[in-house]
Structure 1
Amino acid sequence: MAKRKRLTAPDPERLAVPQERHAMPISDIPTGIIPTPRRAPIADVAGQASAVAALEKVAAEMQAARSEGRMAIKIALEDIAGNYLSRDRVALDEAEMEVLTASLRSRGQQTPIEVVEIEGGKYGLISGFRRVQALRAMADTGEGPNHALAFVRHPEDASDAYTAMVEENEIRVGLTFFERAHIVRKSVAAGVFSSEGEALKELFASASRAKRSKIKSFMPVVDQLGSVLVYPNAVTERLGLALAARLGTEEGFGSRLRDRLRKAVPKTAEDETELLTKALQGKQPKAPAAKQSQKAAVGSEIGAGKSVEVSFKPGELRLSGPGVTPALAAQIRALLETSEGA
């Protein structure tokens, strides 16, 4: 007969209510025990596509800014061709260059130059000639970087490049009348413009007709004295117009004046100006007689078979027709200025 197992009463401690225990913080659970939630694959693809699109947009904007000349880039000074255009600046003022160099030394280049891409990985200088000269001088002495900040322009033709150069210099430091006439003559000689009239109209589009007329009157000074003047920018408007009048009407005056300038070799701008002034006064009698001779010269010009039409209204006397030549305009202007000074 099988033995029966005796049942024993349960242990009271084991039947007691279990004590409350705190759950383990999620941060303490070892990695891998609880799987981390993941986004759906389509969300990852969408996020990457958005980031790529944003980068492409930024890159496209930077490329557009560069191609449109709105973003300045660094260009090595040795890659900048300063002789790409015939410069309108015929001389650099030492005092102004010292001020510019001091500014570049203390504050760096604040205003970019303007260039155009040319062959051989080089850049032709449009505007900023003085800045480039100052930067090169500083680089040679180790005082500055060997590069310049520049806007890359894309002029449609050479006339646009010349116009940009003239406009930039007119805004920054006004050109002298000699420099204005000089660049007109150079641009026509280079074939950029077909005539002086076209060059004047394009290069100095914002100038008044009277100002363009004065620039044209300076042409004889550039043509006959440009090669011998040491300080051409010191020739004032009044002095230049008086010289133009004599050069256009008095035979041999230009050659005599060139000889005097070559022999004298003026050391300063004041010396050269004094020489030019004395040359003008040399064959001019006193003011009344000068007025008479000028009137005669004007009369002979008008009476040389060229018609001149005269119109008048209060405050304005206008001459027109084929008889109104640059020489005649210069004579009349000199006559009026002499009358004002009498």
Structure 2
Amino acid sequence: MAKRKRLSPAQNSYLSGAPESKSALAGPLPTPSPSPAPIAQVAGAASTEAALQEVTQVLQQARARGLMVEEIALDQIDETHLVRDRITQDEDDMEALVSSIRSRGQQTPIEVVPLTDRLDGKSWGLISGWRRLSALRRLYTETFEPEFASVKALVIHPESAQAAYVAMVEENEIRVNLSHYERARIAVRALREGVFETQKKALQGLFANAPRAKRSKIGSFVTLVEALDSVLYFPTAISEKLGLALVRQIGEDPSFVSRLKTRLQQSARSLPADELALLNASLDGEQASLTDSVGTTPPARSQPDVLAPRLQPVAGAETASGERVFMQVSASLRLGFMPDAQRIELSGAAVDARLLEDLKLWLKQR
């Protein structure tokens, strides 16, 4: 038998220096991707920054032009920033709006302007959308749901106080048909607050898009507002025909105003129909007196206009019993006056220690 050859054991060192490799079935090793060159990294970063700047600029321009809808807390909005043109609200209409917002949410944004240096902490002044704002406040008071704690708003930047008033009037003219009395009243109040120089300019500025004949009728109602605003309870119920008849009577006999005011103050009026009947009766009485003195019979008057919707005063709207006047005295000084509360407020950048000392000196000499 042949002698077997003795085998030496395997040495581990034979394979220790060999590079690791995968089976041929696993395929070749992946080739590492080359790192980008520094110039490419710089170009990519610059491109990203330019895109972000462009987006930021577009958003800023959209907000400045009033094209961006924002959510603003209800307690940050001052609904008395402008004198409201709407005097009363129909409760049925308001309930319908509340129900709509409760089920579908706020569909149309309101319009606001930024406020600065306000003592009450308000950051936004209401331009248009009073009914939507009121409906949301009512819903939040009833439910305390977070979805009703804020309002969708467009932030606008009117060029002047005149432009702000025009924006409010035009928005309400589109959505709700205001009465001639309400239109005339906002013209009177805008003049009082120094927004317009004359009543004619106020009418032309606020109702520039109205036909001349309509603007003339609103101007006639200005006489009615100036004469009776402090004693009327339901002025929006006065029809165009009745209002113009009252204005004609005032023009023919200025003393008619004092007699009518006395009669209104001494009469109980719980409904619009009560006040309308009194106004018509006063006109009839004047015509009867004219007949007795002249001996002629005036033309027959039509039956009193009766309109008895469920009305409520507008919260924050200036009324004779709770009038509030706000005036932008200068670019840096705002004056607020609340007769019923016996209160005057000054706010703005011009309110400083020097102004305080000047006021003290003036009050002592007054």
Structure 2 equivalent of residue 261 of structure 1: 264
Structure 2 equivalent of residue 195 of structure 1: 198
Are 1:75 and 2:72 counterparts? yes
Q: Work out the CA distance in 1 between the residues paired with 2:76 and 2:241.
A: 41
Are 1:289 and 2:297 counterparts? yes
Structure 2 equivalent of residue 130 of structure 1: 131
Q: For 1:150, what is the secondary structure of its paired residue? A: strand
Q: Work out the CA distance in 2 between the residues paired with 1:169 and 1:84.
A: 16
**Which of 94, 97, 101 is 1:100 aligned to?**
97
Are 1:186 and 2:194 counterparts? no
Q: For each residue in 1:285-329, what CA deviation from the matched residue of structure 2 results, as whole angstroms up to 9, or x when unmatched?
A: 48x73259xxxxxxxxxxxxxxxxxxxxxxxxxxxxxxxxxxxxx
Structure 1 equivalent of residue 164 of structure 2: 161
Structure 2 equivalent of residue 62 of structure 1: 59
Structure 2 equivalent of residue 37 of structure 1: 33
Structure 1 equivalent of residue 213 of structure 2: 210
1:124 is aligned with what amino acid? G
Q: For each residue in 1:173-226, what CA deviation from the matched residue of structure 2 results, as whole angstroms up to 9, or x when unmatched?
A: 021100011011001111110111101111000111111110111112111211
Q: Work out the CA distance in 1 between the residues paired with 2:158 and 2:254.
A: 43
Structure 2 equivalent of residue 241 of structure 1: 244
- Give how far 1:159 is off: 0.5
Q: For 2:61, what is the secondary structure of its paired residue? A: helix
Structure 2 equivalent of residue 24 of structure 1: 25
- TM-score, normalised to structure 2, is 0.68
Q: For each residue in 1:225-262, what CA deviation from the matched residue of structure 2 results, as whole angstroms up to 9, or x when unmatched?
A: 11111111101111110111112222432222222222
Q: Percent identity?
A: 46
Q: Work out the CA distance in 2 between the residues paired with 1:79 and 1:133.
A: 13
Q: Work out the CA distance in 1 between the residues paired with 2:208 and 2:260.
A: 33
User: Which segments of 5 or more consecutive residues in structure 2 lack a partner in the other structure?
Assistant: 1-22, 301-366
More helix by share: 1
- Give how far 1:46 is off: 3.3
1:66 is aligned with what amino acid? R
Q: For each residue in 1:145-194, what CA deviation from the matched residue of structure 2 results, as whole angstroms up to 9, or x when unmatched?
A: 22111111111111010111111111110211000110110011111101
- Give how far 1:39 is off: 5.3
1:270 is aligned with what amino acid? A
Q: Work out the CA distance in 1 between the residues paired with 2:48 and 2:254.
A: 78
State which structure, 1 or 2, has the greater radius of gyration over its C-alpha atoms.
Answer: 1
Q: Work out the CA distance in 2 between the residues paired with 1:91 and 1:202.
A: 23
Q: Judge which range, 97-106 or 255-264, deviates more.
A: 255-264
- TM-score, normalised to structure 1, is 0.72
Q: For 1:62, what is the secondary structure of its paired residue? A: helix
Q: Work out the CA distance in 1 between the residues paired with 2:92 and 2:235.
A: 16
Q: Work out the CA distance in 2 between the residues paired with 1:192 and 1:254.
A: 28
2:158 is aligned with what amino acid? P
- Give how far 1:71 is off: 0.0
Q: Work out the CA distance in 2 between the residues paired with 1:252 and 1:201.
A: 30
RMSD of aligned C-alpha atoms? 2.1
Q: For 2:24, what is the secondary structure of its paired residue? A: coil
RCO higher in structure (CA 8 A, sep ≥6): 2
With over 3 angstroms needed to count, the CA separation of the structure-2 counterparts of 1:251 and 1:34, relative to structure 1, is closer
Q: Work out the CA distance in 1 between the residues paired with 2:280 and 2:229.
A: 16
Q: Work out the CA distance in 1 between the residues paired with 2:126 and 2:268.
A: 32
Q: Work out the CA distance in 1 between the residues paired with 2:135 and 2:36.
A: 61
2:266 is aligned with what amino acid? K
Structure 1 equivalent of residue 227 of structure 2: 224
Q: Work out the CA distance in 1 between the residues paired with 2:281 and 2:203.
A: 31
User: Which segments of 5 or more consecutive residues in structure 1 lack a partner in the other structure?
Assistant: 1-21, 293-342
